[in-house]
Amino acid sequence: MARINRLFSREVLAGLVAIGSLALLYWGFNFLKGKDVLSKNKVLYAVYDRIDGLSAARPINLNGFQIGQVNRIVFHPSMDGRLIVELGINTDFPIARNSVARIVAQSLLGDKSVDLIAGDSPESVRWGDTLQSDIAMSLTEEVNRQVAPLKQKTEDLIGSIDTTITLINGFLTDDTRNNFKETFSSVRRSIQTLEHSVKTIDGMLDETRAPFVMTVENINSIVENLKNNEKELNGILKNTEQITDTLAKANLGKTIATLNRVLNNTDSIVQKVNDGYGFAGKMVNDPALYENLSAAADQLKLLLIDMKYNPNRYVQFSLFGNSRDYSPEEIREIEEAEQKRREAEAKP
């Protein structure tokens, strides 16, 4: 009996070990798949028209943090081709009722996952509810969406360039090419001339920079002086204003009329002189009279000089006897010496 009990105990122990091994194997297999069989999952659902390669055991993320995984994927009972994705949630974080389960590409290799886009509803989901679904564009679709407008513009540009080249080929005859060459040569010469002119202007500016700076400084000095003499200028302006008022109040018309009469009379006198009336007219218009008067003046000058040096010839009076007489040559020498003396004294 004891032997039978020992054999029975061994069989029970072996069975228990086998069962434990199977349970551990099952747990390890699910753990490697990312599913914890010991945790109590909360389930949500989402319905998609397509899932783009999403498979079971793929992660479910909220704000980049994994909160569960896809339990299974089955077709909708309506048999219209839609797919039901069962989402296993293992967090107590409240999920808004209007949250969206979006299928996104997890990597460039095409691995898919589900991102929960948290909503703003104050109500939380109940386990077993169906969330709104969405599918993010894949990298290829995004690239195609971005490149499509550029591709269209490139095709339009290529078509425009092709049309332009065709028109240019038809337009550029031999005469036109020669005209273009001459035009480019003229443009080149014009640019060279302009460059030379700019250099010349730069040189002129360099030469005139110092005078210009000095002029600006002088202007600044003048402005400063005007500012410093503002009171005097205001006084001058007031005096000018008073003079202007005085002229405005004066009988300026009468004065101008009188001045016109004086000018008319003066013009009449000048006209008579030009016509030869009177002594002034004869003197101006008769050269002989002018020459005679000039000769008489010279004779009078000689007479006065002779009276200066030979007074005894004209007045016979002397307290101490008669003075000597000077000859014309001596008088001329004395006068020339006196003239030179006066010129020397007049020089600074």
pLDDT tens digit string along 269-319? 777 667 766 666 666 666 666 677 777 777 777 777 776 666 666 655 444
Q: How is 278-333 classified by DSSP, letter by letter?
A: HHHHHHHH-HHHHHHHHHHHHHHHHHHHHHHH-GGGT----SS-PPPPPPHHHHHH
pTM attached to this predicted model: 0.36
Residues 6+ apart with CB under 8 A from 183: none
The domain locations on the chain are: 1-32, 39-136, 286-346
Q: Is the pLDDT of residue 139 over 60?
A: no
Q: What is the pLDDT of residue 117?
A: 92
Q: What is the pLDDT of residue 314?
A: 60
Q: CA angle 116-120-125, nearest 5°? A: 60
Output 59-66 pairs: Cβ under 8 A, ≥24 positions apart.
59/34, 59/106, 59/113, 59/114, 60/87, 60/88, 60/89, 60/101, 60/113, 60/114, 60/115, 60/116, 61/113, 61/114, 61/115, 61/116, 62/91, 62/93, 62/95, 62/115, 62/116, 62/118, 63/118
Share of the chain above pLDDT 70, in %: 70
Class of the CATH domain delimited by 39-136: mainly beta
For the stretch 153-173, pLDDT in tens is 888 888 778 777 776 666 666
- Phi, psi (rounded to 5 degrees) for 22: -65, -40
Q: What is the pLDDT of residue 106?
A: 77
More confident residue, 96 or 145: 96
Catalogue the E-assigned strands of 76-191: 83-89, 100-105, 112-117, 130-135
Q: What is the pLDDT of residue 125?
A: 92
The mean predicted confidence, pLDDT, of the chain is: 76
Residues 6+ apart with CB under 8 A from 322: 312
**176/270 Cα distance (integer angstroms):** 78
For the stretch 75-91, pLDDT in tens is 999 999 999 999 999 88
Taking each helix axis from N to C end, the angle separating 174-228 and 230-249, rounded to the nearest 10 degrees, works out to 90
For the stretch 322-338, pLDDT in tens is 556 677 787 788 878 88
> Is residue 69 exposed (0-12), middle (13-18) or buried (19+ Cβ within 10 Å)?
buried
Q: Is the pLDDT of residue 135 over 60?
A: yes
Handedness of CA 86, 87, 89, 95 (dihedral sign): negative
Q: What separation in angstroms does the CA of 59 have from each of 65, 135, 178, 215?
A: 9, 15, 73, 83
Taking each helix axis from N to C end, the angle separating 278-285 and 287-309, rounded to the nearest 10 degrees, works out to 90
Question: At 135, is the secondary structure helix, strand, or coil?
Answer: strand
Q: What is the pLDDT of residue 84?
A: 94
Across residues 105-110, what is the average pLDDT?
74
For the stretch 16-67, pLDDT in tens is 777 877 777 766 666 565 555 444 558 999 999 998 888 898 999 999 899 9
The label of the residue with tokens 């929960």 reads 116
> Is residue 15 exposed (0-12), middle (13-18) or buried (19+ Cβ within 10 Å)?
exposed
Enclosing H/E stretch for 4: helix 2-32
Share of the chain above pLDDT 90, in %: 18
Across residues 124-151, what is the average pLDDT?
77
Q: What is the pLDDT of residue 295?
A: 73
Comparing C-alpha atoms, which of 133, 138, 66 is closest to residue 107? 138
**134/106 Cα distance (integer angstroms):** 15
